Structure 1
Amino acid sequence: MATDTTGARQVVVTRRRMSTAFVCAVLCATMAACGSSASSPKEEDSQTSTATPTVAPMLPSRPPAVISTPAPPPPPVKPVQTTDASKLVQGFKKLPGRDQQLTIAWAPVGHPEQVQQLGTTDTIDAWSTIKVPLALAAIQQRGGDLPKAVANDIEMSVRISDNDAARRLWEGLENFGMKAELVNEVLGDTGDKRTRAARNSAGVRVPFGLTAWRVNDAAKFAATLPCVPYGAQIMRDMRFIDHTQSWGIGAVARGTNKRGLNVDDVAFKGGWGPSTSGYLMRQVGVLILPGGGGVGVALLVQPHGGNHDAGAKILSQAASWLRDSLGATDAGKCA
C-alpha cells in the first residue's frame, strides 16, 4: 500500500513550524519579563508568514540649525563737547543778582545727563513753570487729539500763564489716573527722575504750583522737551509768550513778530510768586544757538524787595550772558 509521503511531509513541516512558534513565544515572553523598553512588534501569523527584518522609515533630513547672531547694541550717544561750567565762573560772578540767589542751569538738547549749574538757591518752588509739564501730560494722555476746550486751556496756561486754565488741565487729568503721577511720568520721560508734582522739598503735598523743582532738573526737562512726543506741540505755544512776560530767555530772541513775541529761536515759560526770601522769579525754556542746535535752560532769582521789574532785568541779562558764553558746540539735537 502506497504511503502518502506528501501528507507525512506536511505533518513534519507542521510540527517543525509549531516547534518554531513555541520557541518564538518563549523568547518573546523572556524579553517581556526582562522589561525591554522597546515596543513589541506586531504579532505575526507563524502559519502564513515568515519573519522579515524591520526597516526604519526614512525621515526627512533635519535642516541645519540656524545660529542667530544677536544684533549689535546701538552705538552710545556721543556726548556734546560743552563748555565746562568752571570756565564760566568768573563771568558769572560779574552778573547782577549774584547776591540774590541767581542760579543758571543748562544742558544740550537731547543730552540731559550733561546738565551744568552755576549758583544756588534756598527756594525751588516751580510756580507757573510747572504748567509746561502739566500741559504736556494733558496732550500725551489724549494722544494729541485735543478737544477744543483743552487746546484753548493749554494755549492760555502757557502763553499768558492763566491760572484758571491750568487748574482745569490739572483737574482734567483725573480722568486718566492720579494727576500728580501723570505729570511725574512726563518729568521722568524728559530726564527728571526726582521731581514729584504737587510735593514740596519735604515731600508734603502742596498745590501743584508749589512743586519743588530743582533748577538743574528743570534744565534737564527743557533739554529733552523737543525730543519727546508732542513736545514740539507745547513749544509752539512757548514761542508765543505774551510780551509782558517776555523777559529772561524771551529777551534774547532774535526774531519777533508784530506783537513783539518771539517766533523761532527761543521757547520758554516763566513763573513767579512769594518765597522764603521774599519773592522768586524763574524760567524754563530752550535757546537755539547759531548752527541750529539747542540748549535747555533754567533760570532763577530772588530779587531784593520783591521787585518784579528788577528780577526781570536780572534774568534777561543772565540769559543774554549765557547765550554769548556758549557756542555751537554746546548745543545739541534730538537723536
Structure 2
Amino acid sequence: MRRLTVGLLAGMLLAGCTIPTGEEPAPTPLIDAPVDVPVAAAVTAVTAGFRGTAGLAVVDGSEVVAAGEDAAAPAWSTIKVPLAIAALRGDPGLANIASAAIRVSDNDAAEVLWTAAGAEAVDAVLAEGHAGTTVARERLRPEYSITGQTAWAPSDQARFAAHLPCLAGAEPVLADMAMIDPTQAWGLGTIPGARFKGGWGPDPAGIYTARQFGLVPTDEGAAAVALTVTPQSGTFEDAQAMATALARELVDLGALPTARCG
C-alpha cells in the first residue's frame, strides 16, 4: 500500500464479500485497508452533501477495495478507452481520430473507431484487461451510441485500469488520457498527473450519472481507481461537482495499493 504523492485518499473502501459454503471455494481476499483509515468516509461525505449515490473502487490488479455503488451500469464515454486501443491495433493511422475520442470525448470520432474495430476486437481488449464485461452489440437507447451502453461496474473498470499499461497498443491511448481537455478535467482530472477518461449521461428519467476511471500517481507507480456519482438533483453540473468533491474527500485519508498488471 502506498501513499498518493498528491495526498489523495485511499485505503479505499469497505467492500463486502460472500460467505463461502462447504461446496464453494473461498473468494479471493479483498485488500485490507488500515484499521485507522475511515474507508467509507469519502463516499459517505459526498453522498451526504449531494444526496444521490456514489461509488469508488481501487484495484491492485486482482484484489479490490470498493465502497458505495458498484453495479454494472452504462459505461458512457469511458468505453472509448478499449475502443481506441482496439481500433489502433487494426489501423495505427487512426491515431488522430483516437486522440479526439479520448481527449475531447468526440462521439463522431468514436463512431469511426467502432466501425473500424468491431465488437470482437473491442472484446479482445476488454478480456486482456480483465474488464469483466463485453461491449454492447445493440443500440439499447436510440439516441445514444451502442458502445456507450456497455454495462461496466466500477470495480471491474478499476481492474481494467490496472492492466492498461500491459496491454499491447495502449501506449498512445494512455498518453491521450494524460491530455484530457480542461473542460472535462473534473473529478480525477483535478489530480496532477492523473491519466483518466470520463463518461456521463442521463437515465431515461433524465437523471445524470458521471463516471471516471484511470491511473493516479503514487510514490511507487500508480493507483488504479474508478468512481461513479449520481447526484439527487440529476444535473450534469452537480454530477461534475460531486465527482470533484469525491476526489477531494480522498485527500489524506490513507494509502492506495500500487497497480500491477501482467
TM-score calculated relative to the size of structure 1: 0.61
Q: Which has the higher contact order (CA 8 A, sep 6+)?
A: 2
Residues of 1 paired with 2:233 and 2:88: CA distance? Answer: 38
- 1:199 Cα deviation (Å)? 4.9
Residues of 1 paired with 2:258 and 2:39: CA distance? Answer: 16
Mapped contact 1:154–1:169 kept (Cα < 8 A): yes
Q: Which residue of 1 aligns with 2:87?
A: 138
Equivalent of 1:267 in 165, 179, 195: 195
Residues of 2 paired with 1:90 and 1:131: CA distance? Answer: 31
Kindly report which structure 2 residues correspond to 1:222-241, keeping only aligned pairs within 5 A, or say none: 222-241=161-180
The structure with the largest strand share of the pair is 2
Counterpart of 1:197 in 2: which secondary structure?
A: coil
- 1:99 Cα deviation (Å)? 3.2
One-letter identity of the residue aligned with 2:149: L
Q: Can you list the C-alpha shifts for 1:243-268, whole angstroms capped at 9, x where unaligned?
A: 00000100122xxxxxxxxxxx2101
- Number of aligned residue pairs: give it: 226
Q: Which residue of 2 aligns with 1:40?
A: none
Identical aligned residues as a percent: 35
Equivalent of 1:103 in 26, 41, 55: 55
The structure with the largest helix share of the pair is 1
Q: Which residue of 2 aligns with 1:197?
A: 135
Mapped contact 1:101–1:121 kept (Cα < 8 A): no
Residues of 2 paired with 1:314 and 1:181: CA distance? Answer: 35
Cα gap change, 1:246 to 1:212, in 2 (>3 Å):
same
Say yes or no: does 1:299 pair with 2:227. Answer: yes
Residues of 2 paired with 1:316 and 1:228: CA distance? Answer: 29
Say yes or no: does 1:161 pair with 2:105. Answer: yes
Q: Which residue of 2 aligns with 1:284?
A: 213
Equivalent of 1:186 in 92, 106, 125: 125
Say yes or no: does 1:83 pair with 2:33. Answer: yes
Cα gap change, 1:241 to 1:229, in 2 (>3 Å):
same
- Runs of 4+ that moved beyond 4 A: 79-82, 84-87
Mapped contact 1:132–1:269 kept (Cα < 8 A): yes
Counterpart of 1:186 in 2: which secondary structure?
A: helix
Cα gap change, 1:81 to 1:302, in 2 (>3 Å):
closer
Residues of 2 paired with 1:81 and 1:196: CA distance? Answer: 26
Residues of 1 paired with 2:59 and 2:169: CA distance? Answer: 20
Say yes or no: does 1:315 pair with 2:254. Answer: no
Say yes or no: does 1:94 pair with 2:32. Answer: no
One-letter identity of the residue aligned with 2:56: I
Residues of 2 paired with 1:298 and 1:115: CA distance? Answer: 11
Kindly report which structure 2 residues correspond to 1:245-256, keeping only aligned pairs within 5 A, or say none: 245-253=184-192
Counterpart of 2:105 in 1: which secondary structure?
A: coil
Cα gap change, 1:280 to 1:184, in 2 (>3 Å):
same
- 1:92 Cα deviation (Å)? 3.2
Residues of 2 paired with 1:99 and 1:120: CA distance? Answer: 13
- 1:81 Cα deviation (Å)? 6.7
Cα gap change, 1:98 to 1:116, in 2 (>3 Å):
farther
Between structure 1 and structure 2, the one with the greater Rg is 1
Mapped contact 2:101–2:107 kept (Cα < 8 A): yes
Q: Can you list the C-alpha shifts for 1:27-71, whole angstroms capped at 9, x where unaligned?
A: xxxxxxxxxxxxxxxxxxxxxxxxxxxxxxxxxxxxxxxxxxxxx
- 1:322 Cα deviation (Å)? 3.0
Q: Which segments of 5 or more consecutive residues in structure 2 lack a partner in the other structure?
A: 1-28
- 1:121 Cα deviation (Å)? 5.8
Residues of 1 paired with 2:166 and 2:261: CA distance? Answer: 5
Residues of 2 paired with 1:122 and 1:218: CA distance? Answer: 11
Counterpart of 1:170 in 2: which secondary structure?
A: helix
Residues of 1 paired with 2:221 and 2:32: CA distance? Answer: 12
- 1:306 Cα deviation (Å)? 2.6
Mapped contact 1:196–1:211 kept (Cα < 8 A): yes
Cα gap change, 1:241 to 1:218, in 2 (>3 Å):
same
Mapped contact 1:199–1:210 kept (Cα < 8 A): no
